[in-house]
Amino acid sequence: MAEHAAQTRALVPGSTIGMLGGGQLGRMSALAAANLGYRVHVFCPEQDGPAQQVCATATVAAYEDEAALARFADAVDVVTYEFENVPDATARFLAARRPVRPGPEALRVAQDRIVEKDFINSCGVATAPYRCVDSPAELEAAVAALGRPAVLKSTRLGYDGKGQVKIAPDTDLDKAWRLMGSAHGILEGFVDFDCEISVIVARGIDGEIVPYPAVENRHANHILDTTIAPAAISRAQASEAEGIARALARALDLVGLLAIEMFVARSGAILVNELAPRPHNSGHWTMDACRTSQFEQFIRAVAGLPLGSIERHADAVMKNLIGDEVHSWPAILAEPGAKLHLYGKAEARRGRKMGHVNRLYPLGGAPR
Ligand code: AMP
């Protein structure tokens, strides 16, 4: 392990960043870390994942394997993660040995949709109306209170629309409860939105906060398909979204990145949907259109370095390459203004994020 630079608390080049999770977010973070002279030691249960392919060292073990976690902690200077569902016991075990950034509070808030929405509202930030529902009877009462349409979600471990059921005027509630598939749910009022946006905000070890501009996200089959940067919203809405991001990052005492997914309601109101204390798919455009990408910014924050300039030198449209879409890579490579990023996954399964392409446009020129 390299020595810490005592005055700045920054990790000196040559230090090792421990990364929990071995997917594409870990891969792109590890590449950014390498550019800053750091080594990344990834810890994940899967062999030959996207991150492992580009990391200096990998531990392949279960997140519950305390002997492996102890060796990992001994081998790294700081711990971070590329997914928010790090088991609580794992985060606490590591936090007793090394700094974990962002800290356990960010994980606690982001892992449970009820805790998350309570936290967001406690910061004076609006969400859709919601009720905690832990039985079919409670679901019935909540639907009576919030009305239809509504959305039933599992409180934990839901992503890309998994564990989610729309409650339409004719939906049978017992069936919806079974489909949701968890003993703990949240019922949310359905937001009639103009568009979905997100802001990714970085907060440094010294409390400096730098939000990227709000971007628009379009989904297909519940999976992010396209991000357009910047979002076509009013100046006032953009600054409100950035203000929300700043407030939430400060309230979490975050060191690292926080992605905030929001709805722009037809009324013009901005409502927060979800938080992720890590790099986010809707920030991939920054790799080619900003002076400092979200991945470099993430590593800077976690390593205790000053944050970088986020100056945007182009508009961008990021398109995820999902499943078979990845086979279009030769055509993308031949396209001027397109930047291809592939994740090294062997099998192009349906719904699997295989890579993405960033298409760049002059400032103010992103197609809508
Ligand atoms: P989530 O897993 O919470 O990010 O939800 C996935 C997607 O479902 C969102 O990006 C929205 O498109 C849609 N969605 C989720 N919650 C709501 C809601 N309360 N009202 C309307 N649409 C929603």
CA distance 184 to 270: 27
Atom 5 in ligand 1: which residue has the minimum CA distance? 161
The third-level CATH classification (topology) of the domain covering 2-100 is: Rossmann fold (3.40.50)
Cβ–Cβ contacts within 10 Å for residue 365, how many?
A: 9
Out of 3.90.1150.10, 3.40.50.720, 3.40.50.300, 3.30.470.20, the CATH code matching 193-361 is 3.30.470.20
CA distance 368 to 318: 12
The answer to whether 84 and 107 have CB atoms below 8 angstroms apart is yes
The answer to whether 188 and 166 have CB atoms below 8 angstroms apart is no
The answer to whether 293 and 279 have CB atoms below 8 angstroms apart is no
pLDDT tens column, 354-364? 999 999 999 99
Distance from Cα 230 to the centre of ligand 1, integer Å = 21
Cα–chain center distance at 280: 3
Q: Which of 1-5, 171-175, 260-264 has the lowest mean pLDDT?
A: 1-5
Q: Is 191 in the pocket of ligand 1 (CB under 6 A)?
A: yes
Domain spans of the chain, in order of start:
2-100, 129-189, 193-361
Cβ–Cβ contacts within 10 Å for residue 2, how many?
A: 14
Atom from ligand 1 closest to the CA of residue 273: 3
Atom from ligand 1 closest to the CA of residue 189: 19
pLDDT above 90 for 64: yes
Q: 66: which 2 tokens?
A: 């305390």
Q: Where are the alpha helices (DSSP H) in the chain?
A: 24-35, 66-75, 88-95, 104-110, 113-122, 136-146, 173-180, 235-251, 286-289, 294-302, 329-333
pLDDT tens column, 110-154? 999 999 999 999 999 999 999 999 999 999 999 999 999 999 999
Q: 360: which 2 tokens?
A: 């760049």
Residues 6+ apart with CB under 8 A from 255: 101, 102, 103, 203, 204, 205, 301, 302
pLDDT (mean) for 34-59:
97
The pTM for the full model equals: 0.96
Q: Is 223 in the pocket of ligand 1 (CB under 6 A)?
A: no
Note the pLDDT of residue 163. 84
Please name the CATH architecture into which domain 129-189 falls.
Answer: 2-Layer Sandwich (3.30)
Q: Is 166 in the pocket of ligand 1 (CB under 6 A)?
A: no
- φ/ψ of 357, rounded to 5, equals -125, 135
Note the pLDDT of residue 272. 98
Q: Is 222 in the pocket of ligand 1 (CB under 6 A)?
A: yes
pLDDT (mean) for 33-60:
97
Is beta strand 193-203 parallel, antiparallel or unpaired with respect to 215-220?
A: antiparallel
Q: Which of helix, strand or coil describes residue 235?
A: helix
Q: Is 162 in the pocket of ligand 1 (CB under 6 A)?
A: no
Q: Is 219 in the pocket of ligand 1 (CB under 6 A)?
A: yes
CA distance 29 to 52: 12
Distance from Cα 130 to the centre of ligand 1, integer Å = 13
The answer to whether 42 and 17 have CB atoms below 8 angstroms apart is no
Residue to mutate (ligand 1; options 112, 117, 130, 151; most atoms within 8 A of CB)? 151
Atom from ligand 1 closest to the CA of residue 188: 19
Note the pLDDT of residue 149. 98
Distance from Cα 267 to the centre of ligand 1, integer Å = 17
Domains 129-189 and 193-361 share a fold: no
Q: Is 116 in the pocket of ligand 1 (CB under 6 A)?
A: no
Note the pLDDT of residue 157. 84
Note the pLDDT of residue 318. 98
Q: Is 196 in the pocket of ligand 1 (CB under 6 A)?
A: yes
Residues 6+ apart with CB under 8 A from 263: 128, 191, 193, 195, 196, 197, 270, 271, 273
Q: What torsion, rounded to 10 degrees, do the Cα atoms 265, 268, 273, 275 define?
A: 150
Percent of the chain with pLDDT over 70: 97
Q: Is 32 in the pocket of ligand 1 (CB under 6 A)?
A: no
Q: Which of 146-160, 309-323, 345-359 has the lowest mean pLDDT?
A: 146-160
Distance from Cα 222 to the centre of ligand 1, integer Å = 8
pLDDT above 80 for 2: no
Q: What is the mean pLDDT of the chain?
A: 96
Atom from ligand 1 closest to the CA of residue 158: 2
The answer to whether 282 and 227 have CB atoms below 8 angstroms apart is yes
CA distance 340 to 43: 26
Distance from Cα 319 to the centre of ligand 1, integer Å = 19
- φ/ψ of 359, rounded to 5, equals -105, 130
Q: Which of helix, strand or coil describes residue 295?
A: helix
Distance from Cα 82 to the centre of ligand 1, integer Å = 22
Q: Is 237 in the pocket of ligand 1 (CB under 6 A)?
A: no
pLDDT tens column, 161-192? 678 999 999 999 999 999 999 999 999 999 99
